[in-house]
């Protein structure tokens, strides 16, 4: 079974995947199974690297086509192959909006370690990864669990991500303070908010030249030094490292919806561009 799973995932250029009994996953949105009728017995978490090089004024994840489309299409192909191989069972996949805590499942499956910035760090692709998972009612043999991937390293704990965080969000998280209503808003969240920005927020965006997202904690992380570019072709095509008003205004509605920065509509990134470039 391990050999066949590897063949299927490697066919999509997915090098890191694992398997867990569903009972070991942390369920967060179990109702997502209602429509499918699936009663999961196993979960197969996997990581999808997306790094294509440095981006200019947007996060690296937003410089590539929206992963919901790329990974969603990948999941469809993988589940189709799994259904052919194991026709007596059902397989469905999720990414982002998942029935479980995907990061916790990735850690348990040995796909990486947790960095102090809260991101999963993979031994090869660093933290520039998306996490997805496939669920099945197939009870996999114990020999499959935690044998397809095994991380043998840990975060070095240098605290560079905490020191570099421009709003102090990470410092607050690690301060031991229990009242998270006092936690400073992270720069990525600031760029994605609707409504007016304060002068301080605009100054932060200008200082760090960002109109969507924030990669500062990733850029300073030693684990992200000299990582390879993603082998996933969907991320290598149609890359936008520098966002401009002309690019946004020149997109059709369909093209715009296939970008991560479409989350808040056109008005928000256009507003940010005006504020940063003013």
Task: Using CA atoms of 60, 61, 66, 67 in order, give the dihedral in degrees to the nearest 10.
Answer: 140
pLDDT in tens, 221-239: 999 999 999 999 999 999 9
Residue 35 confidence (pLDDT):
87
Contacts of 97 (CB under 8 A, 6+ apart): 29, 32
* Residues with a known catalytic role: 96
**Domain boundaries in the chain?**
1-278
Mean pLDDT, consecutive 10-residue stretches, the chain (278 aa), reads: 90 93 94 93 96 96 96 97 97 92 92 93 95 94 59 81 97 93 96 95 97 97 96 95 97 97 96 96
Residue 96 confidence (pLDDT):
82
Distance from C-alpha of 220 to C-alpha of 200, rounded to nearest angstrom: 23
Distance from C-alpha of 248 to C-alpha of 252, rounded to nearest angstrom: 9
Residue 153 confidence (pLDDT):
66
Residue 143 confidence (pLDDT):
61
């Amino acid at each position: 079974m391990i050999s066949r799973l590897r063949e299927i995932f490697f066919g999509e250029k997915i090098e890191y995947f694992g398997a867990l009994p569903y009972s070991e996953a942390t369920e967060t949105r179990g109702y997502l199974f209602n429509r499918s009728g699936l009663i999961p017995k196993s979960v197969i978490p996997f990581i999808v690297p997306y790094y294509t090089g440095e981006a200019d004024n947007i996060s690296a994840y937003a410089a590539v086509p929206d992963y919901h489309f790329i990974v969603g299409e990948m999941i469809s192909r993988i589940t189709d192959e799994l259904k052919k191989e194991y026709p007596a069972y059902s397989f469905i996949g999720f990414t982002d909006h998942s029935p479980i805590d995907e990061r916790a499942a990735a850690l348990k499956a040995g796909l990486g370690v947790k960095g102090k910035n809260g991101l999963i760090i993979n031994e090869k692709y660093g933290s520039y990864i998306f996490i997805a998972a496939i669920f099945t009612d197939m009870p996999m043999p114990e020999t499959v669990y935690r044998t397809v991937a095994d991380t043998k390293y840990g975060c070095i704990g240098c605290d560079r991500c905490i020191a570099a965080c421009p709003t102090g969000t990470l410092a607050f998280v690690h301060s031991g303070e229990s009242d998270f209503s006092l936690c400073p808003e992270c720069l990525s969240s600031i760029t994605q908010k609707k409504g007016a920005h304060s002068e301080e927020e605009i100054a932060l965006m200008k200082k760090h030249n960002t109109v969507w997202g924030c990669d500062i904690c990733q850029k300073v992380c030693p684990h992200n030094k000299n990582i390879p570019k993603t082998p996933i072709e969907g991320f290598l095509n149609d890359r936008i490292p520098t966002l401009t008003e002309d690019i946004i205004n020149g997109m059709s509605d369909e093209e715009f919806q296939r970008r991560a920065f479409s989350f808040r509509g056109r008005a928000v990134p256009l507003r940010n561009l005006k504020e940063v470039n003013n």
